[in-house]
Chain A
Amino acid sequence: MLNGFLYFVVLFFLLFSLVKDGKKTKMALKKAWKSMMKNIMMIMGMMILMGVVFKVIDPETIGSFFGKESGLFGIFAGLGIGSFAFIPSFIAFPLGAQLIENGAGYPQVAGFISSLMGVGLISITMEVEYFGKQAAITRNAFAVLASVVFVVLVGVII
C-alpha cells in the first residue's frame, strides 16, 4: 500500500513535469537512471550483508535476551545487537511489538528498536562512502546517544 502511494505520487509529479517541459523531464529520467546505477551496487551489497547477518544471529534468539527480568543486561544486549544492523522502521516496530507481546520489557525493546533503526555498525562503510568518516561516525555516535536517552526516559517514565 505504501509502495502504491509512492508510485502514485511520483507518477503524478512525472506527468506534471512532462506537461510542463518534455526536455527537462527526459533529462530528469536520464539523471534518475544514472544515479540509480551508481548507487545500486552498494545497495545490493548492503542487502546481501543483511541476509548474512540475520542468518548468523536470528531474531528468535535475540528475543530471548529481552525478558522483563533481564534488567540492565537486557538493555545493553538490546542496544548492542540493535547497533549492528540497520533495519527500516516498518520492520523494526512490528518486531518490537512482537517482542513485547512475548514478554519483553519496554526499556529493552526501546533500546533495541531505536538502535536498530539509527545505528548501523555494519553499514558504516557505506555511510563513510557517502559522507566521509567524520560525519558517518558522528551521526552513528549521536544515534547511540539518542537510543540511550530514550531507554532511560522509557525506564523512568513508563
Chain B
Amino acid sequence: MKKFYSNNKLLIIALVLLLGLFLFDSNKGIEATKSAVYNFKSVGMILPPIFILIGLLDVWVPKEVMVKFMGHGSGLKGGAIAVFLGAVGAGPLVVSFPIAALLIKKGARLAYVFLFLGAWTSVKLPIFMFELANFGYKFTTLHVISSMTIYYIGAIILEKTMSPKAKAIMEEKANKYA
C-alpha cells in the first residue's frame, strides 16, 4: 500500500484535489474532469511515438556513443546537440523528463541534460515562426538569447554544486524511468 502510494503520489494528490473541487463546486469539477481528459488525449497522442523513439535510442545508441557526443569531453558539440534536441522536441515538459532520464542513463553530461531541459522550455522550433510573426523579431531574439544564456549558466552551476550523493540518486532515478 505504501509502495503504491509512493509510486503514484502525484496521481493520488491530483485525484484528491479533483474530488475536493467536486465537493466545492460540482460544475467546476465536471469541467475540470473534461479538460483533464482533453489534456490527456492531446498528450496521449504524442506519448507512443516519443516512447518508441526513446526505446529505439536506448537499443541502438550504445553508452560510448552518447558519452562521445554528449559526455564530458564533447565540448561545444555536446551543448549544441542538447539545445537542438530540446528545440525540436514536441510536447509539454512532462514528456521531456523521460527523455532526460534516458540521456542521464546513457552517460550524457549533466550540464547538457539541463541545457536540454532549458531549451525544451524556451526555444521551440515548431513554435518559432509563430513567435516571430506574433511578437516580432526583437521579442523573439531577446527571448531566445536571454533564456539560453541563463540556462547555460544554470546548467554549469548545477553541475558544479550538486553533491555526489544527489548525483547518485539522480542516476538511480534515471535508470528507473528510462
Contacts and interface: CB of A to CB of B under 8 A. Distances in A.
A and B part of one assembly: yes
Interface of A: 2-3, 6-7, 9-10, 13-14, 17, 24-25, 27-33, 35-36, 38-52, 54-56, 86-90, 93-94, 96-97, 100, 106, 110, 114, 117-118, 120, 123, 125-127, 129-135, 138-139, 141-143, 145-146, 149-150, 153-154, 157-158
Interface string B37-73: 1011001011111111111101110000000000000
A38 B101 CA distance: 12
A43 to B, nearest CB: 5
B contact patch SS: helix
A45 B62 CA distance: 32
Interface of B: 7-15, 17-18, 21, 28-29, 31-37, 39-40, 43, 45-56, 58-60, 90-95, 97-98, 100-101, 114, 117-118, 121-122, 124, 126-127, 130-131, 134-136, 138-139, 142-143, 146-147, 150-151, 153-154, 157-158, 161-163, 166, 169-170, 173-174, 176-178
A51 B33 contact: yes
Contacts of A24: 59-60
A31 B59 contact: yes
A52 B18 contact: yes
A104 to B, nearest CB: 12
Given A3-B45, A93-B130, A86 B55 contact: no
B104 to A, nearest CB: 8
Given A41-B7, A49-B13, A126-B10, A139 B131 contact: no
A31 B59 CA distance: 9
Contact of A7 (B49, B136, B166): B49
A95 B170 CA distance: 34
A114 B92 contact: no
Given A6-B50, A118-B122, 8 more contacts: A39-B177, A46-B14, A48-B15, A49-B14, A51-B39, A55-B29, A131-B173, A142-B150
B93 A130 contact: no
14 contacts: A13-B56, A35-B98, A35-B178, A45-B12, A48-B18, A50-B36, A51-B18, A51-B33, A51-B36, A125-B10, A139-B118, A139-B154, A153-B146, A158-B139
A13 to B, nearest CB: 6
B135 A42 contact: no
A14 B49 CA distance: 10
A135 B136 CA distance: 34
B170 A132 contact: yes
Contacts of A47: 36, 39-40, 43
A23 to B, nearest CB: 10
B28 A28 contact: no
Contact of A41 (B11, B28, B43, B178): B11
A55 B18 CA distance: 10
Nearest to A16: B56
